[in-house]
Amino acid sequence: MDEKFMLEEISKLKKEKNIKIFAHNYQNHEVQQVADYIGDSFYLSKLSKEIDCETVIFCGVKFMAETTKILSPQKKVILPVEEALCPMAHMITSQDIIEFKKHHPDFKVVAYVNTTTDVKAYADVCVTSSTAIKIINSLEEKNILFVPDMNLGSYISKKIKDKNIISWNGYCNVHDKVKKEEIINIKNKYPEVPILVHPECREEVVNLADFVGSTSEIIEYAGKLDKKKIIIGTETGVLHVLRKLNPDKKFDLLSPSLICINMKKTTLQDVYNAATGKGGLDIEIEENLRLKALNSIEEMIRLAR
Ligand code: CIZ
Ligand code: SF4
């Protein structure tokens, strides 16, 4: 279908049906251009409650749309592409947590938001990459099980020395692919150019970076840096946001492997189909499960303040 036609129709349907479009920083440019709000999962989670609308079309992966539904069940929440899943979110199950707690009753379970609703229901608190350190620091418990990302877990445990943090063995198959040799090569080639990476990258990559942070932290830091060229070590979608905010700076990707196929599944056509009501997944969550998962998400929002 013609892009101009879809853009106009989406804009009309947004008004007619009181729809807001949320897009994660990792989405395609064509999707970001129709979004009312673009950001990381923490920002978009908080907005889910604050924004008054009938329908949210959530362009991201399924756990993100589910988080919006958990926080704001009266809204219709549509994930444009049902198959847009985060593989890392499926590297731990609620049964794994139940088993762990049975043997380690003195541990607090901290779940990265990149988890299923089922896992969130059994976790004590959720965190995002932009809030993890603050939230874990504020917990009274010394013993922490962090699930599911081992790379983010190892980064956090290096930053928080006075806690005993055990990580699950999950990983993001996009960030974890970046090799130490790639960052060494870039550093040798452009010694003056700062490299900003996401903590979902391996420890050996994170150790060589000039800055480590979530997408929102990378965007903020890059904006303040007085440099003409910056290398980015997170999913390529962030480059759209960075280039729009900093037209005078040049941004390159640390590695060609930084493309999340799940984040790229959503196209403008899918957003259009979702807006017309003819496509996408209408997120539904069983009420008891929703209330259990809501606890750990609300705890995240409270502790991140
Ligand atoms: O928290 C998020 O939205 C993710 C998945 C990455 C980031 O750092 O923003
Ligand atoms: Fe999941 Fe990694 Fe894709 Fe983010 S970039 S959605 S963590 S697979």
In ligand 2, the atom with minimum distance to the C-alpha of 149 is 7
CB 59 within 8 A of CB 266: yes
263 CA to centre of ligand 2 in angstroms? 7
Task: Calculate mean pLDDT across residues 64-75.
Answer: 98
Q: What is the pLDDT of residue 250?
A: 98
CA angle 260, 290, 62 (to 5 degrees): 15
In ligand 2, the atom with minimum distance to the C-alpha of 261 is 3
Q: What is the pLDDT of residue 1?
A: 81
| Whether complex ipTM tops 0.90 | yes
Is residue 63, in this structure, part of any structural domain at all? Answer: yes
Which listed ligand is nearest to 113 at the C-alpha?
1
| Axis-axis angle for helices 238-245, 215-224 (nearest 10) | 30
The two tokens of residue 77 are 């929440």
pLDDT in tens, 143-202: 999 999 999 999 999 999 999 999 999 999 999 999 999 999 999 999 999 999 999 999
Residues 143 and 200 both lie in one domain: no
**215 in ligand 1 pocket by Cβ < 6 Å?**
yes
Give residue 271's domain range.
3-84+263-284
In ligand 2, the atom with minimum distance to the C-alpha of 26 is 5
**214 in ligand 1 pocket by Cβ < 6 Å?**
yes
pLDDT in tens, 197-224: 999 999 999 999 999 999 999 999 999 9
Is residue 274, in this structure, part of any structural domain at all? Answer: yes
Is residue 141, in this structure, part of any structural domain at all? Answer: yes
**273 in ligand 1 pocket by Cβ < 6 Å?**
no
CATH number at 180 reads 3.40.50.10800
Residues 134 and 269 both lie in one domain: no
Taking the C-alpha atoms of residue 21 and residue 57, their distance in angstroms, rounded to an integer, is: 5
Going from the C-alpha of 169 to that of each of 84, 91, 104, the distances in angstroms are: 22, 8, 17
Residues 76 and 26 both lie in one domain: yes
Residues 241 and 108 both lie in one domain: no
* Gap between the terminal Cα atoms of the chain: 44
Is residue 258, in this structure, part of any structural domain at all? Answer: no
**66 in ligand 1 pocket by Cβ < 6 Å?**
no
In ligand 1, the atom with minimum distance to the C-alpha of 234 is 8
* Mutation test residue for ligand 1: of 38, 175, 215, the one with most atoms within 8 Å of CB: 215
Which listed ligand is nearest to 148 at the C-alpha?
2
What is the signed CA dihedral for 220, 223, 226, 227, rounded to 10 degrees?
110
pLDDT in tens, 244-276: 999 999 999 999 999 999 999 999 999 999 999
Is residue 219, in this structure, part of any structural domain at all? Answer: yes
The two tokens of residue 298 are 């609300």
Is residue 196, in this structure, part of any structural domain at all? Answer: yes
**40 in ligand 1 pocket by Cβ < 6 Å?**
yes
**41 in ligand 2 pocket by Cβ < 6 Å?**
no
In ligand 2, the atom with minimum distance to the C-alpha of 88 is 1
Residues 154 and 225 both lie in one domain: no
101 CA to centre of ligand 2 in angstroms? 27
238 CA to centre of ligand 2 in angstroms? 13
pTM listed for this prediction: 0.96
What total number of domains does the chain contain?
3
Taking the C-alpha atoms of residue 269 and residue 274, their distance in angstroms, rounded to an integer, is: 9
pLDDT in tens, 19-38: 999 999 999 999 999 999 99
Residues 143 and 18 both lie in one domain: no
In ligand 1, the atom with minimum distance to the C-alpha of 41 is 3
Task: Calculate mean pLDDT across residues 36-52.
Answer: 95
214 CA to centre of ligand 1 in angstroms? 6
